[in-house]
Chains A and B, each alone.
Chain A
Amino acid sequence: MTEPGDLLPVHPGDLLPVSGPAAPPRANGELVFAAPWESRTFGLTLALHERGLFAWSSFQEKLIEAIARWEADRPRAAGSETPVEYPYYRCWQQALEALLADLGLCAPTDLDDRARTLAERAHGHDH
């Protein structure tokens, strides 16, 4: 993944309608993201890249490392030969966290502390 230029095409007129009768099949029945946090992590990564904070290839290196780590230590369900579901966006998240730590933009301890604070929110405020 080299240095992308503009993330968004500037020719919206060239895009086909995304809904309605003229819309071609697009996602082929598959959701792009399985959970809201997956799309958030994806969007956050792109937004940070768009701000010029890192080269996409730097993120990709971290992603490859995170995936390789998971595959080397592939967990299996207890007593079963069936591998647990591949946590692609967990790997993505780990890659982003590692990259931001390297760049000095977010220390792992800061992130752990904030996640713990959020986890301890009074019930009913955890949305």
Chain B
Amino acid sequence: MSHDPSDPALRTEALEALLTERGVVEAPAIDRLIAYYEEQVGPMNGARVVARAWSDPAYRARLLTDGRSAIAELGFEGPQSEHLVVVENAPGVHNVVVCTLCSCYPWPVLGLPPSWYKDPAYRSRIVREPRAVLAEMGLALDEATEIRVWDSSAEVRYLVLPERPAGSEGLAEDALAGLVSRDAMIGVARIPPP
């Protein structure tokens, strides 16, 4: 460890020690929250939401109307899902999500964001030149496809409902969930046929 007092690890340790001594926080609460976000929440939650929407038209309708209530039906709730808007891809329409100011992201369904989502380059460029950025990320969309960029904020977080891939017609919901990737739910990837 560094001996520089501006070292972030030292500052973290110092802050936690001071707040613990002052009775403001307790280490087990911190441990629990870290473990929860490292182990219990992640894109598998969103994958279940997507698979349910693909399998159950009534659920899909509820999801598109009130994302927060629909994900709560599956037990997913918490910070950054209070106003969850689900945007649906369709032939000719592709949705992609960003947070231009910081890192807003629907934690309960996707976990914590990947580093590229927080990166200044993605945050500025996806708004200015979405087609080029998506192509660089491996998603080539033809000129006829409309790209809708959704900027997350304190008020609204977004989740992309990807198109169900061809060839997945016979699959049960669990198997469908296994096809759904994090990147597809942010809108920077498509889901390939199984």
Q: Indicate, yes or no, whether A interacts with B.
A: yes
Residues of A participating in the B interface, judged by any CB pair closer than 8 Å: 1-9, 11, 13-16, 18, 23-28, 30, 32-37, 39-44, 46-51, 53, 56-57, 60, 63-64, 67-68, 71, 74, 83, 86, 88-90, 93, 96-97, 100, 105-106, 110-112, 114-120, 126-127
A9: chain B residues at CB < 8 Å are: 75-78, 108
A51 vs B22: C-alpha distance when bound (angstroms): 14
Partner of B79, one of A27, A56, A71, A88: A56
- Whether A111 touches B11, Cβ cut-off 8 Å, given contacts A57-B154, A106-B18, is yes
- Residues of chain B whose beta carbon lies under 8 Å from any beta carbon of chain A: 1-19, 22, 24-26, 29-31, 33-34, 36-40, 42-45, 47-48, 74-80, 82-83, 101-104, 108, 111-112, 114-115, 118-120, 154-155, 177-178, 181-183
23 of the cross-chain contacts (CB-CB < 8 Å) are: A1-B82, A2-B82, A2-B154, A6-B77, A8-B36, A18-B42, A24-B43, A42-B34, A42-B37, A44-B16, A47-B33, A51-B25, A57-B154, A63-B102, A64-B101, A88-B115, A93-B11, A100-B19, A111-B18, A114-B14, A114-B17, A116-B5, A118-B14
- A83 CA / B121 CA spacing, docked (Å): 10
Say yes or no: B37 contacts A4, CB within 8 Å: no
Chain A contacts of B26 at CB under 8 A? 47
Closest residue of chain A to B81, judged by CB? A4
Q: Taking A23-B44, A43-B30, A111-B18 as given, write out 20 further A-B residue pairs in contact, using a Cβ cutoff of 8 Å, ordered by the A residue number.
A: A2-B82, A5-B77, A7-B33, A7-B36, A8-B78, A14-B74, A15-B40, A24-B43, A24-B44, A36-B9, A42-B37, A43-B31, A43-B34, A44-B19, A46-B33, A47-B26, A51-B25, A93-B11, A106-B22, A119-B3
Cβ–Cβ contact A4 & B44, under 8 A: no
B80 nearest CB across to chain A (Å): 6
- Whether A32 contacts B40 in the complex (CB less than 8 A), given A7-B79, A71-B120, comes out as no
